Amino acid sequence: MTMIDSRCLMENGGGSGGSCFPCTPEEEKQIVEEFNREAERDLERREFVFCCFFQICACVVIDNFDGYFADNGWWFSKWESYVGRGGVDNLDNGKSLEPQDLDVERPGPIDNSDIIECGSSNEGDELELVRTLLEGRDYVLVPKKVWEKLVQWYKGGPALPRKMISQGVFNKKQFNVEVYPLRLKLIDSRDDSESTIRISKKAYLQELYEKVCSARGVEREKASIWDFFNKQKSSQLAGSKQTLEELHLLMDQEILLELKADGSPSQSGKDSTGNELALVALEPPRSPISIAGGPAMSNGHSSSYSLNLRPGSALNSSFTDMDDGFGVHSSVRRVEKGGLAGLQNMGNTCFMNSALQCLVHTPQLVEYFLQDYSEEINTQNPLGMHGELALAFGDLLRKLWSSGRTAIAPRVFKGKLALFAPQFSGYNQHDSQELLAFLLDGLHEDLNRVKQKPYIEMKDWSGERDEEVADECWRNHKARNDSVIVDVCQGQYKSTLVCPICSKISITYDPFMYLSLPLPSTITRTMTVAVFHGDGSGLPMPCTVSVLKRGNCRDLSQALDSACCLKSGESLLLAEVYDHKIYRLLENPFEPLVSIKDEDHIVAYRFCGKGAGRKKLEIVHRDKCTPDILKCNVGKYFGTPLITYMDEDSPSGADIYLAASRLISPLKRACSSTMAHSGKDDGFLLEANGETSSGCNGQCESMDQSMGNTELEGTDSQEFPFQLFLTDDRYLSCKPIFKDSVIKSGNRIKVIFEWTEKEHKLYDCSNLKDLPEVYHKTGYRTKKTRQEAVSLFSCLEAFLTEEPLGPDDMWYCPSCEEHRQATKKLDLWMLPDILVFHLKRFSYSRYLKNKLDTFVDFPVHNLDLSKYVKKKDGKSYMYELYAISNHYGGLGGGHYTAFAKLIEENRWYSFDDSRVSPVNDADIKTSAAYVLFYQRVKTESKAELGETSQAHAGNKEGHEEGLMMIKILKSLTNLLALDFMAINSHPA
């Protein structure tokens, strides 16, 4: 197809006041697609400039009438529908419609005013956008040339240009659009006036100075800008080689403008390379302890750190990390016990705060990061973050355990997170479990003791003992991955894959960091299905059953088996009927029932024996076209299709007619018996004496198209009492079937049964009509079904249940040498000391997006998983809960909090961003529980298995947590001793 030259359009209507010749929808589509391809080519030259636009129209809702729905009036979606480019699949419950079938009008002018922040009076890239916008839902991104062309065609605006920037520090070749540039609050120290500076986070510090000096009318040489987070002078922003992202400047934070006097202030809070230190000492360094708890680093800086975790004692610390909420003190500050500090919310960062509080209250990680871990930092690992993520996390953990109840602003940590994981940058809500997975993996790679990972070839299972294979797999894993995260958080499960075709078995033993458990639903759904006999032995009948709302087609088939009293050896074939044709066969037993809507029509065909691999004959019904109907190319389809199995590989026309006669025989009218004796209808086995059914032959032949691998051979003039036509998958081709026709086709033969006036007299086709809906909505609103509680054990059992791989996750079978939808079975082989359960409350599919508020009854004490672990090594598999990440609300946002247990107090606390408060044990079990953290309870005798209370280490020296706290106290005592020695050796 020839591309329309857009230059002619510009020549005829390039000016703002000109009028271009109108383009057809197809021409508009071609022009936009060509500009999109050109923009993709320009991406490598970094010349890709975008504009985003969106229009919100009033919803169209018509009350008191069925069949109408609300339309949000999305401009770009309307334009796509108008040009036939897309956006039409969701208008009819997933049924594809041709653009010409939709009465789509040309959209009006573009209006971006609804996504612009109220009061924003600037222009272009300075326009403020509403903070809660989501791409794909509230706006789309298009290349600059596409925007200009759309404005030329439709007018409107305003334009909202946005630049493309690189992602993070590792993905220099990956780009995204900076929809929300960095916005800073500039405070002028001369008059305390406040103004707003908007700039890209990828801009260098020199650009910020130029913009500030231009806005305030000062000379660059006299200007000094300070990081003024929380309105405290944290550090002077100096040096032009750093970007604002690397300086950890946050959205809407304050910066302070000062004018230099005679001398220039020193660069406080900077190391020799200009990087901001995580910890800065108030006084001269008094100990050789670095921010990682080890010897001072090569840059010459060190930090003073002291901590006391003895029961009932206070914590001592001396920091000047202004950006984390600490003030300047001339002496050592006496604070409360550690572990009770909150985290400030810096703009939709509750997801991060929740995950962090759970990790920093993990006893083994507390012990590790309060000790010297500097030697284990791996700066050379290409899969890590050069050790910076581990340093940032360790520094934050120390602050949280040393600040008492002072809330910390994790600004430096969030800045590092944005650098290494751009998906968590910005200020949109994210998932705490996804952040947790990234942190555990990132900390592992930063602390990996293996500097050079050896290459190890994976072996396929060939019948060896499970213990041998599992141990070998774990040794291979440890040869490449050895860190505190592996020691504490990683377990091993057994994965068994079975090919559904050749029954090839593949067994692997894979490590895991957490277990994502599905939530079994207890909500039922009423479904009505029409049951047809596939052998024509009876009339169809409706059948209503109750199934789990989130079940699958296997659950529906089992319910129908019981309701229809299926005999041994009988089976059901489920199909969805749409427009009197088979829309799809529901042959996959694991097809989710959410894919079936209440208004759909489902048919169950009942057969003797199994139908796997057998050839299917599908018969659709169509009235014969008559000359009285004007503009009629083919007759009208009606009724419900019929399906039966054919045992022949290449059935003849006589076989097809015989099968069809059996299927419609139950529909014979009582008065048709006299006609049967006349010889005109003798079981469809005698040759017909009537007229040739040629009313549709000419029209069908004119529609004849390629039949693929379907052929008709050996046709003759012998006819039957009714006429059948062979068609293709789209019902476009139509060829008559004769007695001696030999039909060669695939696994499905589709046939059109043509109904004339004679057939309507002989058969009662009313049984084929009025197909019931899956669920008929009444005028009364039904009471919402309440979700019953499920146990954590039922979630775990659902996780371990055998299930098939998804269509997008096919397994390559080495025996078949093809990708197969194999069945997968998981078994727990080895469990770690810290066991994390992720409850899959959020479900995303092409049919549904939902959050499950199911209450999961999880044990707080004595979680015994012994029966689920296949490896019998004598270890204890009794676990104790110590932290929970909670999510409240729905998909659109919600709020994250955390519950964490202070081991030394044996008491639970609620961490809601900055707010920390004690809670009772009974209050932590809610329907908001999202991620559960358990630790292994090591016991020496059966009598100790029932011991669940956590006491002080001095009272229960044999208890694991007490031993751990003793180790922490010893390490902190060493730190205190170093500080006291340094003080004595450096008198004031």
Residues designated catalytic: 350, 895
DSSP bridge partners of 917: 910
Beta strands per DSSP E along 732-802: 735-736, 742-744, 748-755, 790-791
Euclidean distance between CA atoms 936 and 745, whole angstroms: 61
C-alpha dihedral sign at 675, 680, 681, 683: positive
List all residues 6 or more positions away from 526 whose beta carbon is below 8 Å from its beta carbon: 544, 545, 546, 775
Backbone phi, psi, residue 757, to 5°:
-60, -35
What are the distances in angstroms from CA 699 to CA 627, 631, 635, 703, 910?
12, 12, 10, 6, 75
- SS3 (DSSP) at 547: strand
Helices (H), 43-98: 75-83
User: Which residues make Cβ contacts (< 8 Å) with residue 700, sequence separation at least 6?
Assistant: 634, 725, 733, 734, 735, 736
The tokens describing 80, both together, are: 């796509």
Q: Whose CA is closest to 527, among 620, 452, 598?
A: 598
Buried b / exposed e along 59-89 (16+ C-beta atoms within 10 A): eeeeeeeeeeeeeeebbbbbbbbbbbbebbe
Give bridge partners of residue 879 from the DSSP assignment: 863, 936
Give the integer Cα–Cα distance in Å for 229 and 324: 9
Structure tokens at 161: 């240009």
CA distance 155 to 149: 9
Smallest CA-to-CA distance from 877 within 946, 828, 923, 831 is with 831
* Cis previous bond, 158, omega within 30: yes
Query: Residue 922: phi, psi to the nearest 5?
Result: -70, -15
- Residue 167's DSSP bridge partners are 171
Q: Which long-range contacts (CB under 8 A, 24 or more apart) does 293-299 make?
A: 293/369, 293/370, 293/371, 293/372, 293/373, 293/374, 293/394, 294/372, 294/373, 294/374, 294/375, 295/374, 297/374, 299/271, 299/272, 299/273
Both tokens of 356, joined, read 């962090």
Q: What are the C-alpha distances in Å from 604 to residues 175, 524, 549?
A: 50, 20, 19
Q: Which of 513, 512, 508, 495 is nearest to 469 (CA)?
A: 508
Closest CA to 570 of 607, 612, 518: 607
End-to-end CA distance of the chain: 87
Of 401, 431, 440, 395, residue with least CA distance to 413: 395
Calpha distance 29→14 (Å, rounded): 19
CB 415 within 8 A of CB 352: no
Cα–Cα distance for residue pair 320/399, rounded to 1 Å:
11
Tokens coding 105: 């009008």
Residue 40: how many CB atoms within 10 A of its CB? Answer: 11
Encoded tokens for 645: 């199995």
| Cα–Cα distance, 335 to 313 (Å, whole number) | 10
With H, G, I as helix, E, B as strand and everything else as coil, classify residue 413.
helix
What is the distance between the alpha carbons of residues 301 and 830, in angstroms, rounded to a whole number? 43
